Structure 1
Amino acid sequence: MRRHLLAAAILFVVHNAHASDDPTLPAVRVEASKPSRIDSIVTVEASQAQNRTLGGMLEHVSGVQNSAFGPNAGAPVIRSLSGNRVQILEDGQSILGMNAFSGDINIPFDPLFVRSVTVNKSSDTVRYGGNAIGGSVDIDSGLISRTMEDKDQSMELVLRKGFNAADAQGFRMNFNNQRNVSTNLQVSRQRISYYDIPGNSKAGVCNTRLFPATGGVNSALADSCQKEARVQQLYNKASQPYIDQFMTENPDWADGDFSFYTNSPTSVWQRRTYINPVNPAYVAGTPSYVQKQINNDVTPDYHHRLGNSYSRSSQVALGSTWFFDRGYVGVSIDAKDSEYGVPGFSMQNLSFGANPADGLPVGVVIKQQRYALEALLRDPLPHVERAELRVSKLDNASGERLGSTRANDYDFQSTQAELLLAHQPVGPLSGVLGLSHQARDVTASGALRYLPDVETRSNAVFLKETLDVGWASFDAGVRHERVDHDLQPSRFKTSRNAANTTLQDRSYRLNSYTLGSYVELGPLFAAKVRYSSSQRAPEINELYASNAHYSVMTQEEGNQNLQPERAKNLELTGLFHLGGFALSATAYRMKYENYLYQGHSGMQMANRLPLKYWKQTDTTVKGFEIDASQALDLGGYGKLNLSAFADLVRNQADRPDTLRAHNDGEYLPNMPTNRYGATLQWQRDSWKVQLSSTYYDKQKYLGRNVSEEIPLDAFNLVDLQVSRELPVRNAYIAGMEVFVNGSNLLDDDARPHNSPLKYIAPLPGRGFQVGVTVRL
């Protein structure tokens, strides 16, 4: 923390030195690279909503769902893709860390002061590399000012009190000299001890569907429910009419309960005849043996309160920008800390008959420091209109705790640099040449580590060109990338079930390209089409992972002979607008060659975790998204906006072999379900109201974990936000806004099908936040 404070002091000294200069503000024109209107890009502006996670903030966007790994960890799932396939960026630089490999590791995210989040649902590999094969998500932190602020200083104070929601406090300050220096400081924290839930933490099917009518136990469901489930054969004492008198007198000779009963009225032992009394419990025709179904909780089934759901997070961040007549240079320092529980399961997978209270809960600790530089220069070279440079260093330490004991720690040290050169427009033609470099060192420690130490280097060059003739636009892009994974010396050992023998370095050459167009079809209609061919190199968990990975409840085994994925995507969009009405409908198909997935071996390990290997098969992802909105001016009654959406996605193996079809099924397990949503926004004078409802349908396309997935009931999430700007008569206060927001107002037992914890940890029940924002 000392180095952060020292850097902050230096930035303030720089700011104060410039603040004493001539305050005359020169004409500063700042430009940034603009996204193509051909892509499926959505920008979500910050609001007063209680956004626990990045995935939660974006879950109202069609085609985007929340991974919902409990209430404290949630990543965006774009068209069924997430993790290594969705690039997560902050201010244009990747922040992918352990969160890409392990779903219980949350993406460091400050929900109080984030300015906006931009989602590109199309393949974005030309711009951001293979980890954007399923799209990208870029967070605008607000730390670096890209234009001069309107006022020379401002301050924003936020206080929130939660009821089944987090308490939050924070402030954001901006100081500038209205000439060439602007500095931002952000401090925030969030706290909650636990979340309430509508009913039990474990789904009803954990009791009703464990024992199929055909017999036996649904072991996959039992493991997902953290249950001890088995069937015992017990002797039926009512099955025989007589009690064996000899055994009654000589119980030491008995081999079990069955020895004490007989079908004969007499017994002869050592030439002596024994008269056997009648069995008073006898019921004629009953079987000799009956089955007893054992159904015990390995981890607690909480009632109305979700155990181990605490969360604490904080952020301290500082950014400063120096403007000059041809551009700007901005630097930022950002430190985030978080600590939270992973509800529902214990990393200590207890043996049969153990007391679930003896299990130790899983906790996650994340510490991240990020240093970034961003610069823009106009006309740097002949025929070059603009140059943009982004450089960042990321230190992300993520670890799992078993009670108070360290289970594993992973340290991600990443350095990134990207240079963009936009050439002078040639008539309607404009374009950008980009150079990208990324270096990442992953080091691991702890008794329960499942990854080796690996150094990864990525270098790429890409070109994007756009032809814009007003009523139509055409773009094309190409990227060549090299990815090298170099193993480093460590004490990591693979398990006896590993597919790998001796771990080896791996290197990949990747090529991606894209073509697209946007055409206006008269005054009311427009159409977009995009085709892309994208490649992604296997990541280190897919190549080298070995041993128990409890956060995904799997014995995970990598395969270093995996090939790069190749996705051929076709996306069609129709647009219609008339007055205040707008309609957009998109259909897409992504044909994957060598799609990477975790295949079930059909075996369970001694700790009852399923043994899964990283495998490849050809896969097709297809679906649609529909968005509609209507804006209405109600005159003296304000303005009203009605919007609705629907989305559907299917992730389906093309020609699954016999083992895949039997163990994993035709569809990808944990696939997002169909959704239908509607939002009503009303604004009048100082009042703002937003009411939204999203219906999550029951999943119809089920995968397998040897046994077929058990779908859960549909549910409806209803959220509400109400805010009002209060009149303030104070020279020091620029404005004050009070607000209340509510989530899951129907108190539904909400269990998204794509959540790995759906059977043991529902989403939080009805919750509210009340708060005030004061602007000085």
Structure 2
Amino acid sequence: MYHSPKAQVLKAFAFRPILIALAATFASPTIAAEDNKTIDLPTVPVTGNPLGVSSDALVVPVSVLSGRELSLKREGTLGETLNGIPGVSATQFGPNASRPVIRGLDGERVRIMQNGLGILDASSLSFDHAVGVDPLIIEQIDVVRGPAALLYGGSAMGGVVNAIDHRIPKEQLDGVTGRAETRFGGPDNARNGAAVIDVGNGRIAIHADAYTRKTSDLDIPGYAVSRRKSAQANGPARENRGKLVNSSADGDGGALGAALTFDNGYIGTSFSTLNNNYGVVAEENVRIDMQSNRWDVASEFTDLSGLINRVKLRIAHTDYEHRELEGGEVGTTFKNRGIEGSVEVGHKAIGELNGVVGYQFNNTNFEALGDEAFVPGVNTQNHAMYVYEELAIDKHKVTFGGRLGHATVDSKASGTFTNPQNNSFNPNSFALGGLYTIDNNWSLAGNLSHNERAPSYFELYANGAHVATAQFEVGNADLKKERSNGVDAQLRWKDANHSFSIGSYYTRFSNFIGLFGTGNEINVNGDLLPEAKFIAVPAVFKGLEAEAKFKLTDRLNLNLLGDYVHAKDQRNDKYLPRIAPLRVGGGLHYQYNSIGARLDVLKAFEQDRTADNELKTDGYTNVSALATYKLPTKLNLELFAKANNLLNQEIREHASFLKDISMQGQRSILFGLRGDF
């Protein structure tokens, strides 16, 4: 596993000692005995609303994973951790690279953020590129379903995933808090560990975390290649039964952060690093060695006097690089370096009107060097002003948001790309929403939106063989802004410990930018690759989402969920590719004193509504189980065991580009120990 000298120094002199120190601290009962207080950080889904209201008061649908629930649901990638939330599936390019898909939209249309700022990596460029954040150190994940472009970036037409890690402390802390977790087993023989610690004296707070992750090739229940794929003309043979070759991974990372905290705010900074070396399952001799270093600065002050009552500042600089190793030699290198920031001010209430005004910017430089550089070097800059306002009317409220942006996407002469090109766009978006409280139990939320997105650099300038998708991809520098209009509505019910919601949405794109096959073949070094071009087409996405939680007894809870997406190219009334099928699920969760157990079932139906040249995908039933036991110690320690795919079925996700040569793991069990103090 290759690391630069800088990364080796950081790893040797920073994170390994931190991990050892945290483990020693966590194992010591003395600290817990001296002060048994636990600092509970807020889990308000602020991603869905800058005013910090609870999820019940949000107009847009937001799902939040945090605390123990997140700890027990963690998977190896961000996409798999969130897969199964209503409206959310995953791209799943093997077990190591998986981005969330929201309501059938992926890539640039789902904005992945870390603490409210974008993660500058290369994961949206190609399905085999992993997301530059590891779930092991995340403290909370907010998922906004539906257009959220107004506050978090013009590309977020599908939604937003915000991974929150508290690496810059925001709360006053007097004492020591922390958590640690280790797990091993599963279908990939995982050996993972993470530790987090926060120390403060009431004014200065210091954060440190470290993690390590190691997995073997994934055990699978059958052949990696599907029967449909093998039966095609010149289809691959069904080999490698029981093992997904070249799917192992080895990664580590960590962070140091510090902040000055006050009664009404904080100012702080952090440095984090991530290293990840993993196999690309589409090519048996190719591995990706990835490194990302990031500096963050953040500050927020509330309860200010005067017209402006809150000020919030966030800036992050990221230096991302990954090398694609072919037989141990560097074949292609991808780099993405840049800075992103935002300034947001809130105004004092004007009658019943509350809101914020903000400015957001980013400047990134992307480079691709080597044999498979199918896009040129590109500088992308975005600037935007946005406003969000809420008007309370008795128990109801009306919301309005607007965003005015300017984007430039300029390519550079590099490699085979000898003709630099410049493009600029002015994407503007607006939304009008409302929350109508019917009575103490029932409410109705709705949102009307107009969204515009500037084309990404690869949609504009791609021109070359893309091995991960086995296509010759061709961009279109004449693409215009992607535009859509949508409506989203939810009916919600809540009564004490019971809740239920059902929602529907309809989004019409006047020019949906997609990658479509042309039917032509391009000769690349003697091999014929099918040609695919980025073109804009009219399209419609519509669907349903439902979720319910019922407390059957003091010890037993019932959870239910379901979702459905229907997406078509309106030119020819044909289905769009990689759209997840109808899914329904349910689970029983039992807790009695220190013993817990749960049984969950997720049923995905067959997807036979496919695009041209796309194979059908069989349905599956994934039955999983979890058992937990809180140890009788002064420390808050919990043992857990997770069993997955108990029916040992071939689970292939239709949203995955790799579904016909890869699948999820076989029946397995994973053991772990987690705790906090």
State the TM-score, normalizing by the size of structure 2: 0.89
2:641 aligns with 740
Q: Percent identity?
A: 25
- Of 307-316 and 157-166, more deviation after overlay is shown by 157-166
| Residues 720-762 of structure 1 deviation map (CA, whole Å, 9 limit, x = unaligned) | 2221111125xxxx23211111222221111111111111111
Residue 155 of structure 1 and its aligned partner are, at CA, apart by: 4.1
Alignment of 1:2-401 (within 5 A): 33=50, 34=52, 37-45=58-66, 46-149=70-173, 152-165=175-188, 166-177=190-201, 179-207=202-230, 209-210=231-232, 217=233, 222=234, 227=236, 297=237, 301-343=239-281, 345-346=282-283, 361-378=285-302, 382-401=306-325
Alignment of 1:210-609 (within 5 A): 210=232, 217=233, 222=234, 227=236, 297=237, 301-343=239-281, 345-346=282-283, 361-378=285-302, 382-493=306-417, 502-606=419-523, 607-609=527-529
* Separation of aligned partners in 1, 2:339 and 2:331: 27
Contact 2:120 2:337 in 1 (8 A): no
* Separation of aligned partners in 2, 1:6 and 1:465: 49
Contact 2:390 2:397 in 1 (8 A): yes
AA aligned opposite 1:71: P
* Separation of aligned partners in 2, 1:399 and 1:5: 19
Residue 96 of structure 1 and its aligned partner are, at CA, apart by: 4.2
* Separation of aligned partners in 2, 1:539 and 1:767: 40
1:704 partner SS: coil
| Residues 541-578 of structure 1 deviation map (CA, whole Å, 9 limit, x = unaligned) | 00001110111221101010001100101011111234
AA aligned opposite 2:59: I
1:615 aligns with 535
* Separation of aligned partners in 2, 1:735 and 1:436: 41
Residue 159 of structure 1 and its aligned partner are, at CA, apart by: 2.2
State the TM-score, normalizing by the size of structure 1: 0.78
* Separation of aligned partners in 2, 1:667 and 1:775: 48
| Residues 649-682 of structure 1 deviation map (CA, whole Å, 9 limit, x = unaligned) | 01101233xxxx7xxxx11112111111112222
* Separation of aligned partners in 1, 2:302 and 2:137: 29
1:271 aligns with none
2:549 aligns with 629
* Separation of aligned partners in 1, 2:60 and 2:10: 38
AA aligned opposite 1:617: V
Aligned pair in 2 of structure 1 residues 372, 571: CA closer, same or farther (>3 Å)? same
* Separation of aligned partners in 2, 1:525 and 1:736: 39
AA aligned opposite 2:638: E
Aligned pair in 2 of structure 1 residues 5, 163: CA closer, same or farther (>3 Å)? closer
2:654 aligns with 753
* Separation of aligned partners in 1, 2:325 and 2:14: 32
AA aligned opposite 2:467: Y
2:163 partner SS: strand
What stretches of structure 1 move > 4 A for 4+ residues in a row? 2-9, 29-32
Contact 2:352 2:393 in 1 (8 A): yes
| Residues 507-541 of structure 1 deviation map (CA, whole Å, 9 limit, x = unaligned) | 00111000000001123321111000010000000
Match of 2:604 among 696, 716, 737: 696
Task: Tell me how large the CA RMSD over aligned residues is.
Answer: 2.4
1:643 aligns with 559
Residue 38 of structure 1 and its aligned partner are, at CA, apart by: 0.3
Structure 1, unpaired ranges of 5+: 13-28, 211-216, 228-296, 347-359, 495-501
1:56 partner SS: helix
> Number of residues paired by the alignment?
634
Q: Radius of gyration: which is bigger?
A: 1
Aligned pair in 2 of structure 1 residues 379, 771: CA closer, same or farther (>3 Å)? closer
Contact 2:341 2:361 in 1 (8 A): yes
AA aligned opposite 1:40: P
Residue 142 of structure 1 and its aligned partner are, at CA, apart by: 2.6
1:280 aligns with none
* Separation of aligned partners in 1, 2:325 and 2:567: 34
Residue 4 of structure 1 and its aligned partner are, at CA, apart by: 5.3
Contact 1:187 1:317 in 2 (8 A): yes
Match of 1:712 among 617, 620, 627: 617
Contact 1:50 1:769 in 2 (8 A): no
Aligned pair in 2 of structure 1 residues 627, 735: CA closer, same or farther (>3 Å)? closer
